[in-house]
Structure 1
Amino acid sequence: MMRIRILGPLSIHHGTVEMTPTAQKPRTLLALLLLHHGQVVPVSDMMDELWKGVPPKNARAALQIYVFHLRKALARGTGVPSAEVARTMLRTVQNGYRLAVEPAHFDLEIHHRLRRAGGSAMAAGDLRSAAMYFREALNLWHGPVMSDVEPGTRIRAEAAALEQSRMTMLDYRIELDLKLGLHRQILSELAVLTSQNRFHENVHAQYMIALYRSGYRIRALELFHKLRRDLLDEFGLEPSAKLKEFHQSVLTLDPALDDAEVVAPPPRPAADLPEIPALASSF
């Protein structure tokens, strides 16, 4: 079975055989096809991505050569004849190409399924299952999306959207850990996250609450003041009203902090999906 990763460096393997292109343009082409796995990617989109909107006169011929080499690599790695690869895996469809590898352990598809399952469980009040789904999804990440690919505008935009999805899941997962009383267990993680995300107010608020509940009230206040200084120095902005309310609650030892909520749950359950933690853990 093929193993495909894009949540970090791009890689595609079949058993011990690696099929990831080393040349940059075929690598970028494969990345674009994988981001649209199972969907037709128009030739015009591919050329725009590969040549940053300024394709040369021989762009279509060059693209066909890159597709040929991708098919050859897939055939070599899987042992499937090239003609069969062209018919079933990397197909020419209308004025575009469609990559569909089944069955495959594909981290992006597993990520989406776990994200939706976690949202459904969270909205339904099953906090432990939701936290497990989100944790499994986050564990699939091994760095920035396709960090070793030279992106064009499409890959860059979709990578940014995936990164936002990751940060939203992280917000939810930390919120769930706080609701489950795991504030002490996540202090070290939150210390790293606030250092890496200096202006992320949700993460700072969650760290303040975790510190307060763990008996570190002074550190919680210091955290707020450091964020305030950073915001003023960098942007001339004050922290949000919500963060100021949390700061005031820490100052006054407000018992409401024992049940405070930083990130609200999803408004309604997503579509029910099967449990798949075993798939995620196989990466």
Structure 2
Amino acid sequence: MHFRLLGPLDVHVRGCDITPTAPKQRQILALLTARANRRVSAPALVSEVWGCEPPRTSTTALQTYIGAIRKTLALATGTTVRDITARRLITDGNGYLLRLADDEWDRPAFDRLVLQARTLRSDAEAPQAAELLGRALEMWRGVPFCNVPQGSSLTVQARVLSESHLAACEARIDALLRCRSFQEAVAEAVALVEEHPYHENVHAQLMRALYASGRRAAALEVYHLLSRRMSHDLGITPSPATRTLQHVMLQDRPDQRYLAASGVTV
């Protein structure tokens, strides 16, 4: 049995997709998976599915949905509902707990690869860090829980996952810059800038990658586009750090120590 949440919710057993098709069952299972091995209270599940004004029958309906999920898991694994209740989808006080081993869902493997990459801090280790982060990012299949109705709790969980994905993307670009894979860094930074039009760090990463590739004019154009967008849409200017990077790149004889500290090696 394998649960995947780095993208659409997906549950497979021996190659067979057993992801619930009923929206509320899928929503409940998504939240239990996002908080795997931790108790989720019945009120939290009710609030997720029905919001602030649940029907009087919500608690009974929740129990029915949990029972249906248990039955699906039991049929798929050739066990009994009693066994699933005792070992997999457990009643824990006034709540439920989905028990998963690390190799039964994708989040632990992603976190482990990212953590391993972050321990590789020297330039000599940068290629290995970039490779580990690339493997981690290959596990992503799209927007978290995009196939699930999202209440308040799942919205937060999806945001947490998306932020983890973005941080891994930024760390990989930094690693690519450190190992002088400038063109690859440019390609990955361009995609991030398109997805995050107001995110200063990814714009700065693209500026550094372009500058290190010998494309100073293109690097400065990235800054100007960001500055105009922020001024027009938000009424603010880029941060001092981003402005300083632009100022250094404008110089005919830039401060090489500053550029090196910023991740640019030319």
Give your verdict on TM over 0.5: yes
1:31-70 correspondence to structure 2 within 5 Å: 31-70=30-69
Q: What is residue 261 of structure 2 aligned with on the other side?
A: 260
Return the offset for 1:239.
1.0
Q: Does 1:150 align with 2:149?
A: yes
Larger RCO, structure (CA 8 Å, separation 6 or more): 1
Listed as ranges, the matches of 1:68-107 within 5 Å are 68-102=67-101, 104-107=103-106
How far off its partner does 1:67 sit?
0.6
Asked whether the equivalents of residues 20 and 26 of structure 2 are also in contact (C-alpha less than 8 Å), the reply is yes
Name the SS of the counterpart of 2:114 in structure 1: helix
Identity %: 31
Displacement of 1:5 after TM fit?
A: 1.0
User: Structure 2-normalised TM-score?
Assistant: 0.92
Structure 1 residues 11-30: Cα deviation after superposition (integer angstroms, max 9, x where no partner) = 10011221111111000000
CA RMSD of aligned residues (A): 2.0
Letter of the 1:29 counterpart: I
Alignment of 1:96-245 (within 5 A): 96-102=95-101, 104-122=103-121, 126-245=125-244
Separation in 2, partners of 1:76, 1:102: 20
Distance in 1, matches of 2:133 and 2:190, equals 20
Q: Residues 38, 125 of structure 1: CA spacing in aligned structure 2 closer, same or farther, 3 A cutoff? A: farther
Q: Spell out structure 1 runs of 4+ moving beyond 4 A.
A: none
Distance 1:53 1:111, change over 3 A: farther
Q: Across the two proteins, how many residue pairs are aligned to each other?
A: 262
Question: Offset of 1:258 from its aligned partner?
Answer: 4.9
Contact 2:124 2:179 in 1 (8 A): no
Aligned-pair distance for 1:35? 0.8
- Please list every run of 5 or more consecutive structure 2 residues that lacks an aligned counterpart in the other structure: none
**Partner amino acid for 1:71?**
R
CA distance, structure 2, for counterparts of residue 218 and residue 184 of structure 1: 16
Give 3-state SS (helix, strand or coil) of 2:150's partner: coil
Q: 2: distance between equivalents of 1:105 and 1:94?
A: 24
Contact 2:113–2:133 under 8 Å retained in 1: yes
The residue matched to 1:38 in structure 2 has which SS?
coil
C-alpha distance after superposition, 1:169-188 (max 9, x if no partner): 22111111101111122222
* Aligned residues of 1:213 and 1:258 also touching (Cα < 8 A): no
Which residue in the other structure is 2:27 paired with? 28
Cα pair distance change 1:72/1:206, threshold 3 Å: same
Larger helix percent: 2
Contact 1:7 1:143 in 2 (8 A): yes
TM-score by length of 1: 0.86
AA at the equivalent of 1:105: E
SS at match of 1:138: helix
Distance in 1 between residues matched to 2:123 and 2:52, nearest whole Å: 45
Q: Which moved more, 1:103-112 or 1:174-183?
A: 103-112
Note the C-alpha offset of 1:132.
Answer: 2.7
